[in-house]
Structure 1
């Protein structure tokens, strides 16, 4: 863990981060906690969530609300939205970070089952989150929805098949939502993390030297900026590096 010194830019704001047990999601959780946010963290692994919660307690002295579940359980997303409404009555920051790479291969070699699993997590789960959390974001004085995409979404890239398709569709979805919320206090944007030292990156580029890449903690500036109440951008694709 990298030492983090925050300045309270997210003080009092309630943030939900998916895929928070490792990599970019865990870095977002640390960065937001250091800036004073109240954290709600989801991931499939309870142990991983407990580890990041331990780190957050060291950073801010606060405990997080941990919600271990698989985002492909769409009914559980609906239940989470209802539970957050009962507990908080609003949501200030939604970060749709969880994602899966899938197999990098010719389109015709991808099994229908794997294609659907990648679409379910990278696209449909984020739509279900947006659908359920939109009313909570509208209850905030400055609701902010942030989704993590990839350069693979922009322009055809051979063998990146399902992942690129899912991220391109995600960017279109967020762009449409951004147009629909123009007259509200909610803003929605995309962050492209670029080349970061993550397990997904290592899987996609097995011959790459990981030490040549920035760590997730080193690319958190735009994630914090887009979550601030004062950030006015909407429908933007922001590159982290």
Structure 2
């Protein structure tokens, strides 16, 4: 746990989606340990309650927000509730997502394609739209959107997931260019192969013990939420510990 005397996010408010498991859960715990109040968003109420117990046992605080991100109006209500209670937002971790299906392009069912884009892309845009005004009110708003190496490798059978993550990176880059004169900093993160349920779904024959844990990966992502961050609109590759800054368009 972080040293209570040197907590880097003391007094800040941060939203974490997909907070009931995996990287989102690990990040929520770390953010709370650094002194922030975490608004934990996920579909699974039981997982959120377990997270809340862990955060409180470690001396942190959280607000649970059970929400299916396919509920677009619910995302809007979340933004309104944050505005009413705190009047601002200091941090966002847009982590929730789904794999969809690994399949030849021509074999992807329309309903699966549409649902995957709704959860991975449309909900991310809706979340950004809901909290952008609140992040602008922060003295040092920080946003992190989880991407994937699939967005760039575009391997066979990964077209659906790859396309959704590429779209999210495009949203982040444009958002960063719109806000680069403000205190707000927004970046994408490629966490790399991680020991999560989604990775097991995608690669069932893989030995999970060969992969870094969600806690290890989350610890590398956490600093992007600190006020010292100056980069915006880039992509942080956790596995390679490399930040790619994209040139601002003319």
Q: Which TM class, normalised by the smaller chain length?
A: over 0.9
2:190 corresponding residue in structure 1: 192
Does structure 2 conserve the Cα–Cα contact (< 8 Å) formed by 1:222 and 1:238? Answer: no
Pairwise CA distance, 1:104 = 0.3
Match of 2:2 among 2, 5, 30: 5
Q: Say whether 1:120 aligns with 2:118.
A: yes
1:35 corresponding residue in structure 2: 34
2:47 corresponding residue in structure 1: 48
1:47-196 maps to which residues of 2 (within 5 A)?
Answer: 47-59=46-58, 61-196=59-194
Alpha-carbon distance in structure 1 between the residues aligned to 2:202 and 2:60? 36
Pairwise CA distance, 1:12 = 1.1
State the superposition RMSD in angstroms: 1.0
Structure 2 unaligned regions, length at least 5: 240-250
Pairwise CA distance, 1:157 = 1.1
The count of aligned residue pairs is 237
Alpha-carbon distance in structure 2 between the residues aligned to 1:58 and 1:91? 24
Partner secondary structure for residue 165 of structure 1: helix
Alpha-carbon distance in structure 2 between the residues aligned to 1:184 and 1:222? 25
Does structure 1 conserve the Cα–Cα contact (< 8 Å) formed by 2:188 and 2:234? Answer: yes
Alpha-carbon distance in structure 1 between the residues aligned to 2:212 and 2:35? 24
1:226 corresponding residue in structure 2: 224
Alpha-carbon distance in structure 1 between the residues aligned to 2:220 and 2:118? 26
Does structure 1 conserve the Cα–Cα contact (< 8 Å) formed by 2:103 and 2:158? Answer: yes
Pairwise CA distance, 1:161 = 1.8
Does structure 1 conserve the Cα–Cα contact (< 8 Å) formed by 2:195 and 2:214? Answer: yes
Pairwise CA distance, 1:34 = 1.2
2:242 corresponding residue in structure 1: none
TM-score of the superposition, structure 2-length normalised? Answer: 0.93
Pairwise CA distance, 1:5 = 3.1
Pairwise CA distance, 1:9 = 1.0
Partner secondary structure for residue 40 of structure 1: strand
Alpha-carbon distance in structure 2 between the residues aligned to 1:63 and 1:37? 8
Pairwise CA distance, 1:156 = 2.3
Alpha-carbon distance in structure 1 between the residues aligned to 2:226 and 2:193? 24
Does structure 1 conserve the Cα–Cα contact (< 8 Å) formed by 2:27 and 2:219? Answer: no
Alpha-carbon distance in structure 1 between the residues aligned to 2:191 and 2:222? 13
